[in-house]
């Protein structure tokens, strides 16, 4: 039995959910998101919640149960509140600047790194060392934040690089004479 799957997904005010042709559509103040539904799972939209249950007692249906419930929950949370990932840049001369639909990073390379911002995402740079990626799709926000981080991962000796806010960087001691 899935502990996560047993819990129904609450639908907050201002959000509506609808199932048509094997697709769950969730509309809210921040936009509309859709999810293709699995045949192994039974979905039911009630007035204030979405109930997710396995369609049969097969091993694969039970394995999908919790994941599908979490995906439905992410849709509801995305259209109501949205998702945000904050990246912190540490290092001398390292900086970021959002210009229109491009993110310009200066990370100590001989060239600037220009990343196009995907559709549906918003990137803000409140200061030169902070990048905020936000949007309604949790997977897209996390993917773009990971692509930014991949350009200069935090290193263990001085802690320089791009890290998520609140991420613990394991520090090593340098050489001793």
Q: Does domain 83-164 correspond to CATH entry 3.40.630.30?
A: no
The whole-model pTM stands at 0.89
Residue ranges per structural domain of the chain: 3-80, 83-164
3 state DSSP class of 61 = helix
Beta bridge partners of 132: 86, 124
Write out pLDDT tens, residues 85-141.
Answer: 999 999 999 999 999 999 999 999 999 999 999 999 999 999 999 999 999 999 999
Closest CA to 85 of 129, 16, 131: 131
Q: What is the CATH number of domain 3-80?
A: 3.90.930.12
Is residue 105 within 8 Å of residue 115, measured between CB atoms?
A: yes
Same fold, 3-80 and 83-164: yes
């Amino acid at each position: 039995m899935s502990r996560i799957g047993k819990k129904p997904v609450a639908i907050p005010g201002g959000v509506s959910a609808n199932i048509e042709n094997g697709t769950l559509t969730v509309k809210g103040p921040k936009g509309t998101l859709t999810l293709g539904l699995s045949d192994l799972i039974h979905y039911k939209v009630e007035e204030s919640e979405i109930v997710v249950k396995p369609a049969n007692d097969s091993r694969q249906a039970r394995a999908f149960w919790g994941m599908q419930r979490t995906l439905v929950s992410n849709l509801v949370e995305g259209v109501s509140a949205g998702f945000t990932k904050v990246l912190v840049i540490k290092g001398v001369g390292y900086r970021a600047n959002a210009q229109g639909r491009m993110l310009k990073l200066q990370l100590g390379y001989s060239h600037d790194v220009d990343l196009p911002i995907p559709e549906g995402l918003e990137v803000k740079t409140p200061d030169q060392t902070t990048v905020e990626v936000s949007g309604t799709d949790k997977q897209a926000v996390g993917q773009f934040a990971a692509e930014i981080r991949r350009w200069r991962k935090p290193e263990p000796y001085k802690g320089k690089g791009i890290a998520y806010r609140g991420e613990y960087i394991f520090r090593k001691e340098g050489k001793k004479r």
